Amino acid sequence: MITKYKSRARKQPSAAVRPGGEFAPKRFEPRAVKTAAPVHPDSKLKIMVLGGLEEVGRNMTVFQYDKEIIIVDMGLQFPEEDMPGIDYIIPNVGYLEDKTEMIKGVIITHGHYDHIGGIPHLMGKLGNPPMFMGKLTAGIVKKRAEEFNKCPKLNIAEINEDSKLQLGKNFRVETLRVNHSIPDCFAAIIHTPIGTIIHTGDFKIDYSPVNDKPADLNRIAQIGGRGVLLLMADSTDAVHPGYQKSESSIGDEMSRIFEKLNGRIIIGTFASQLSRVQKLFDLAEKYGRRINLQGRSMNDNVEIAHQIGYLKFNPKILIEDHELNRLPDGKIMIIGTGAQGESNAFLMRVVNGEHRSVNLKAGDTVIFSSSVIPGNERTIQTLRDIIVRQGAKVINYEMMDVHAGGHAKQEDLKLMMRLLKPEYFMPIEANHYMLQAHAELAEQVGIPKEKIFVADNGQIVEFHRADGRALGKLTREKVVTDYVMVDGLGVGDVSNIVLRDRRVMAEDGMIVIIATIDNKTGDTIGNPDIISRGFVYMKENKELIQKTRMKVKKIVKDHNPRTPADDDYIKNKIRNDIGQFLFSQTKRRPMVLPVVIKV
């Protein structure tokens, strides 16, 4: 029996929205009735994760039933170390581009960039369907969309924990408030003709969150009691035992630290860590410090959250850069971005002496109030070394409790599974080893192994009904989920070949060989010119450069100038032969760029 929610009010149109864009939440009384959209024997529910099953980031999930589709999240992924020049990566929506009429709505779970960062790039390709998100998330998304000329005017409707969405005939969505490191986070409860799917988004269980309500465990248990077909749950901290710390406990530890500090306090954290920022504002008021915000994203997020009442502080506590020198050091707190060692962020510009108004000095204390994102360890360690060399003191989460993660740890994850009691389970939003760790937790709480799906990006999970039961399987079928890389204004124009060329140049450099050839005789005129960048220093390798020149002259001389496709042949011969010669001499493979000029 499918649990259906029937409205007492008149039937709302698909994606019911009040005039002005506000979603109109209606109270639905639960009762068991026949499905409004009957289940056809051949109808199947397909679930495809376009990003977030092989990485932390690029989160986007597609739900398809018959000829209707809904989407949850549309995030970006920050580049790996072997992606020089790439700003970020967004999901590949090739599967959806010829199905835009089928897309009934997009639900955004919260306002972190790994869940919203792809919106400005993708909404135009998807036909600009209606979007549903919390109030704070809507503010952040609208602010980001302003920076992209090609982004259409978004059709955003705000939701809360009481919202009910009817998207097309086959998808009814309820929202469940969950805790994270930013307010307005929601899990999506998706009712389909096959059964109920729960997508948690990012979550943790916090019994005393900052400026937010704790998750309603009673309601979660009630949802589990009504029957959950599939739980798709955040796996980011599935490898860590125990329970996640409460955000309020971080404020207590910070308070003890602040009592002992007399100099300036400089704090690096994520701009989206608004619960943390609220605690810092409270502590600044308690200890009589004024706050200077650094970083555009930090300033934007604080402004948006303050305007809608999610951050509570007296605006007079804020000071501009020019006021930093007139106040005693013991009265200053600077909050900025860059705790991950990002090259253009506030902290890195300070330590490099490139910031217009902040320089480190003896007596400063720099607090890293965020955990280390995997892959950033070396960069952050170097950043800390430079800070200490400049006379400041460093405090990080490994030394004291100055950071609480935003993701559920093992005991919290098991609690969520026990409360919801899903028939099937699918870990999401993490690298593969984290997904596997979460799958093992699911087995521990009693979910059969054959009903746990550890999938890859694009791998289709399929459900259908047979003999009155919902049956699911992880198929071998995949949709395309290749990287779409954003580089400056270019979206998707940097291919794997371009990236490979960048890696080659980054690792072994390049050498340009310019050969001027007599058009009549086919002989070289003078010696070929050679330009080396990132390969060898030419003044210290004169013998190698001279041998290379002679090799080029011999390649040109041995060639019959009357051969068709003459230029291409010579260029390819130079590229291949000189590449092999340089490798034999140096054991390095620079990119060889031949230029042939005929006169």
- Is residue 221 domain-shared with residue 182, that is, in the same domain? yes
Find where tokens 């980031």 sit.
Answer: 57
Round to whole Å and give the CA distance between 45 and 67. 10
Q: What is the pLDDT of residue 559?
A: 64
- Is residue 237 domain-shared with residue 256, that is, in the same domain? no
Residue 65 falls inside a structural domain: yes
Identify the burial level of 476 via C-beta atoms within 10 angstroms of its C-beta, where 0-12 means exposed, 13-18 middle and 19 or more buried: exposed
**Exposure class string for 320-336: b at 16+ Cβ within 10 A, else e:** eeeebeeeeeeebbbbb
The one catalytic residue among 73, 202, 206, 234: 234
Round to whole Å and give the CA distance between 237 and 245. 12
Domain holding 538, by residue range, is 509-598
Residue 236 falls inside a structural domain: yes
Cα separation values, 112 from 25, 169, 297, 369, 417, Å? 24, 30, 12, 17, 24
- Is residue 391 domain-shared with residue 417, that is, in the same domain? no
Q: Are 333 and 291 in contact (CB under 8 A)?
A: yes
The one catalytic residue among 407, 438, 464, 508: 407
- Is residue 286 domain-shared with residue 385, that is, in the same domain? yes
Which residue, 426, 455, 487, sits at the end of a domain?
Answer: 487
**Exposure class string for 342-375: b at 16+ Cβ within 10 A, else e:** beebbbbbbbeeebeebebeeebbbbbbbbbbee
Residue 208 falls inside a structural domain: yes
Find where tokens 């939440």 sit.
Answer: 25
Round to whole Å and give the CA distance between 162 and 157. 14
Round to whole Å and give the CA distance between 370 and 335. 13
- Is residue 259 domain-shared with residue 176, that is, in the same domain? no
- Total structural domains in the chain? 3
Q: Which pair of tokens denotes residue 111?
A: 């306002």
CATH number for the domain that contains residue 539: 3.10.20.580
Residues in the chain: 599
User: Which phi and psi angles does 61 have, rounded to 5°?
Assistant: -125, 135
- Is residue 381 domain-shared with residue 262, that is, in the same domain? yes
Which residue, 366, 396, 426, sits at the end of a domain?
Answer: 396
Residue 195 falls inside a structural domain: yes
Residue 504 falls inside a structural domain: no
DSSP 545-585: HHHHHHHHHHHHHTS-TTSSSHHHHHHHHHHHHHHHHHHHH
Round to whole Å and give the CA distance between 45 and 66. 7
CATH number for the domain that contains residue 291: 3.40.50.10710
- Is residue 382 domain-shared with residue 423, that is, in the same domain? no
**Strand partners for 131:** 106, 156
Look at residues 406, 430, 75 and name the one whose alpha carbon lies nearest to residue 273: 406
Which residue, 428, 455, 487, sits at the end of a domain?
Answer: 487
Residue 9 falls inside a structural domain: no
Residues with Cβ within 8 Å of residue 179, at least 6 apart in sequence: 185, 203, 204, 205, 206, 209, 212, 214, 215
- Is residue 105 domain-shared with residue 139, that is, in the same domain? yes
Residue 500 falls inside a structural domain: no
Identify the burial level of 241 via C-beta atoms within 10 angstroms of its C-beta, where 0-12 means exposed, 13-18 middle and 19 or more buried: exposed
Which parts of the chain register pLDDT below 50? Answer: 1-36, 399-403, 564-565
The reply to whether 407 belongs to the active site is: yes
- Is residue 71 domain-shared with residue 142, that is, in the same domain? yes
- Is residue 411 domain-shared with residue 387, that is, in the same domain? no
Rg (CA), the chain: 29
Residue 27 falls inside a structural domain: no
Q: What is the pLDDT of residue 209?
A: 78
Do strands 459-466 and 484-487 pair parallel, antiparallel, or not at all (unpaired)? unpaired
CATH number for the domain that contains residue 213: 3.60.15.10
- Is residue 68 domain-shared with residue 216, that is, in the same domain? yes
| Whether the predicted model's global pTM rises above the 0.85 cut | no
Find where tokens 């992880």 sit.
Answer: 474
- Is residue 196 domain-shared with residue 261, that is, in the same domain? no
